Structure 1
Amino acid sequence: MTNVLISGASIGGPALAYWLRAYGFDVTVVERARGLRPGGQAIDVRGPALQVMELMGLGDQLRSAGTDMRGMTMLDADGNELFSSTTHTISGGDLSSPDVELLRDDLANMLFNAIEGVEYLFDDTITSIDGTRVTFEKAAPRDFDVIVGADGLHSNVRRLVFGPEEQFISHLDMYLAVFTAPNFLNLDRWQIFQQGEVVGGGIMSARANAECRVYMGFNGEVEFDHRDVEAQRRLIAEKFADARWEWQTALKHMWEAPDFHFDSMSQIRMDTWSKDNVVLLGDAGYCGSPMSGQGTSMALVGAYVLAGELRDNPATAFQRYEEILRPYVTANQDMALKNREGGWDRPEDFADVVNSFQLTTY
């Protein structure tokens, strides 16, 4: 039986753990946080990723957890309405599509609860990888046949095995903070986005209007420590100090938010996602940035393919995983760049990319 270590307990890591356990692998997941991380933006499960969730028996749960948006409003910098829509939203796209938009932490909990027989090492992290030997910050050193980095944009596994982040990251000159707040605008399954001159973002109701998720972003280029949350809050406060509309109220809630998250809009592009017995999954190997709207779907599909190849073709699993998945990943990453430049000319172009991957049953 192959012994697998997965670093990261957000979306890709638990999805991979689910499939590997179903195939009889021994699986350990290590996560730097003390438990499942709360918060995060609304994410989308689209195209082949919907099929993966159905195969996991989670299709009904997924749809039940959907944000159930009725529509959106776009405002100018002063808060004047530019347009409203009941056919699409900024966060989720076409409301008539079969795609499911839900909160990141709801999906993470769903995956976690679907798995049995997986060992979790919370509040710990990998400090070195030497062949099969892995040392941890807290746990005793152990040996693993396969090591998977599913630990996000700032992957620790990628840094230890492949080299510094600077070699692989491409910044898109945009930054985004997201956090939970009370539904202070009394939104009813609705979202309001604002196009500011320098800063902007949106507020959407969540969990049957009991709360909202706030998005605050800006363009440009800044240096920041991705682990210094308080410094990130100060940066957002500085950028939005003169912002109009409801942003000053949003800032007050930001200081109290327990799940504040901030990062750059960036992509990870690598010539290869594996080295020896180490392989990368999801944002760690091929982050598309939130501009693609496909990060979650790529992680779910990637986990399904990687697990299937490890079961069926262990000697060539990493090679086959990359051959099968890379065209899909590249198309989605390119889509993010297209969106950054002004969006697709036709909505069907977006749908073509989303559905470009044909899922094979393992």
Structure 2
Amino acid sequence: MKTVLISGAGIAGPTLAYWLKRAGYVPTLVERAPALRRGGYVIDFWGLGYDIAERMGLLPAIDRAGYHVREVRIVDDDGRRAAGFGTQVFDELTGGRFITLARSDLSHLLYEKISASTEVIFDDEIVALEERADEVGVRFLRGGERRFDLVIGADGLHSQVRRLAFGPQQAVERHLGYGVAAFEVHGYDKRDENTYLMYTRPGRMIGRFALHGDRTLLVFIFADDANRSPATLADQKATLRDIYRDARWEWPQIGHALEHCDDLYFDRVSQIKMDCWSRGRIALIGDAAFCVSLVAGQGSALAMISAYVLAGELARADGRYRDAFGAYEARLRSYIDAKQRGAERFAAAFAPRTSYGLWFRNQVVRAFSWPGAARLAVGRDLADKLDVPDYRWGAPGEADI
């Protein structure tokens, strides 16, 4: 049993392909987009995900691509500092192993590790799965039919593999009552290097972050109990204009940039909660299995952790995929449950729904400047308490041939 089809070339998919190759498997990666995605949003990267990236030899490249954020600053309507804190505590709690980087940059770095040794199919997707006694029959939208020993869904919150193998998304998706959008703009005339700025009104937040190459990332998080999912770029822009129509701060300039952007990320903030992450020869990893939500800020690291553990358990089980899938889930289930609970607590901090909620959030943020307060507030969420075995892999070069 050696052939594994992985759906999704974001974070979890390339990570899994790398470690499966090290374990002697033959992975194939399929991605519905015509190329790797650019833009999107930035992530905070630390803990076990950081450790796995180090084992893959990625830390020097991640350090070059990333950012060492020094301040989180909340501003008022006139751009004055309303609250904020320095981020030194994150470095202290992680031993300096904490960095912010664009999710798309991490995806590209992971892809570079496997592209020369792994078959990658862009601009195609799985449209049907048929599990048989000793294989899975896969029909692609454009690539006809093929057979694989195993199929792994690493295709995110809106996983096609999950829909085909486990049923409709609405049965396992839990909305957290918020929406999110993001885009990049070149030449924005206000830059605060290594500072994450947040402007909030009740139920709405705009974040601004200076990227490399004179680019600026603009992020929007907003209360949205209707879970709106406008399908077209024009409708997405119209939705944001409506939500932020009376915003102040830099909204006139940001709204103008929005009108001219042609690559807007727009989605709802949700979690995926499933009773089981595998069925027969088909399994799920990362957001496809257990999305903790975008606002948790740790989805990419969790994607890498789940990929590493699944590959390791497959290597350890020597082809007994049912044993491997069971061990993978048993090892991660309580850890992921804790991360999801933490994300539920954290979601409302970005865009409190009331004026009192904003005031209270700002008081909490101000308290972060007191010695020990930030450590007490975020220490639990920064701790990665999971026993990851030292799996036996092939030589590192075998995955890079």
Scaled by the length of structure 2, the TM-score of the pair is: 0.84
Gaps of 5+ in 1: none
Specify the code of the residue in structure 1 equivalent to 2:164. L
Matches within 5 A, 1:4-23: 4-23=4-23
Relative to 1, partners in 2 of residues 1:306 and 1:350: Cα closer, same or farther, differing over 3 Å?
Answer: farther
Q: 1:12 & 1:350 partners in 2: Cα distance?
A: 26
Aligned pair partner of 1:309 in 271, 293, 313: 313
Note the C-alpha offset of 1:255: 2.9
Q: 2:122 & 2:200 partners in 1: Cα distance?
A: 39
RMSD, matched Cα = 2.0
Note the C-alpha offset of 1:227: 4.8
Q: 1:176-200, CA deviations, whole angstroms, 9 ceiling, x for partnerless residues?
A: 1011112331322222111112422
Q: 1:55-99, CA deviations, whole angstroms, 9 ceiling, x for partnerless residues?
A: 1111222222221223232113453320243336xxxx8354422
Matches within 5 A, 1:58-77: 58-77=58-77
Q: 2:28 & 2:111 partners in 1: Cα distance?
A: 13
Map of 1:191 onto structure 2: 196
Is 2:90 aligned against 1:94? yes
Q: 1:349 & 1:188 partners in 2: Cα distance?
A: 25
Is 2:339 aligned against 1:335? no
SS in 2 for 1:255: helix
Is 2:360 aligned against 1:361? no
Note the C-alpha offset of 1:350: 4.0
Map of 1:323 onto structure 2: 330
Matches within 5 A, 1:46-61: 46-61=46-61
Are the counterparts in 1 of residues 71 and 194 from structure 2 also a CA contact under 8 Å? yes
Q: 1:224-265, CA deviations, whole angstroms, 9 ceiling, x for partnerless residues?
A: 446533322221122112211112211222233343101111
Map of 1:351 onto structure 2: 379
Q: 1:4 & 1:148 partners in 2: Cα distance?
A: 7
Map of 2:141 onto structure 1: 137
Matches within 5 A, 1:243-262: 243-262=247-266
Are the counterparts in 2 of residues 206 and 212 from structure 1 also a CA contact under 8 Å? yes
Are the counterparts in 2 of residues 48 and 358 from structure 1 also a CA contact under 8 Å? no
Moved over 6 A (4+): 343-346
Are the counterparts in 2 of residues 241 and 248 from structure 1 also a CA contact under 8 Å? no
Relative to 1, partners in 2 of residues 1:341 and 1:186: Cα closer, same or farther, differing over 3 Å?
Answer: closer
Q: 1:149 & 1:226 partners in 2: Cα distance?
A: 25
Specify the code of the residue in structure 1 equivalent to 2:113. A
Note the C-alpha offset of 1:341: 5.6
- Between stretches 109-118 and 339-348, larger displacement belongs to 339-348
Q: 1:297-353, CA deviations, whole angstroms, 9 ceiling, x for partnerless residues?
A: 110100100001111113211000000111111111010112236599864464344
Map of 2:82 onto structure 1: 82
Q: 2:345 & 2:271 partners in 1: Cα distance?
A: 13
Relative to 1, partners in 2 of residues 1:129 and 1:193: Cα closer, same or farther, differing over 3 Å?
Answer: same
SS in 1 for 2:242: helix
Is 2:144 aligned against 1:157? no
Q: 1:175 & 1:141 partners in 2: Cα distance?
A: 37
Relative to 1, partners in 2 of residues 1:361 and 1:323: Cα closer, same or farther, differing over 3 Å?
Answer: same
Relative to 1, partners in 2 of residues 1:247 and 1:188: Cα closer, same or farther, differing over 3 Å?
Answer: same
Is 2:205 aligned against 1:200? yes
Are the counterparts in 2 of residues 177 and 217 from structure 1 also a CA contact under 8 Å? yes
Q: 1:187 & 1:349 partners in 2: Cα distance?
A: 26
SS in 1 for 2:29: strand
SS in 1 for 2:335: helix
Is 2:294 aligned against 1:290? yes
Specify the code of the residue in structure 2 equivalent to 1:133. G
Note the C-alpha offset of 1:12: 0.5
Q: 1:164-185, CA deviations, whole angstroms, 9 ceiling, x for partnerless residues?
A: 1110011111111011112331
Aligned pair partner of 2:270 in 241, 246, 266: 266
Q: 1:113 & 1:250 partners in 2: Cα distance?
A: 34
Task: Say which structure is richer in helix.
Answer: 2
The size of the alignment, in residue pairs, is 357
Specify the code of the residue in structure 1 equivalent to 2:304. L
Note the C-alpha offset of 1:293: 1.8
Map of 2:367 onto structure 1: none
Q: 1:255 & 1:119 partners in 2: Cα distance?
A: 38
Identity of aligned residues (%): 34
Q: 1:119-155, CA deviations, whole angstroms, 9 ceiling, x for partnerless residues?
A: 1111111111011101011001001111111111111
Specify the code of the residue in structure 1 equivalent to 2:324. A
Relative to 1, partners in 2 of residues 1:177 and 1:85: Cα closer, same or farther, differing over 3 Å?
Answer: same
Relative to 1, partners in 2 of residues 1:333 and 1:226: Cα closer, same or farther, differing over 3 Å?
Answer: farther
Are the counterparts in 2 of residues 224 and 232 from structure 1 also a CA contact under 8 Å? no
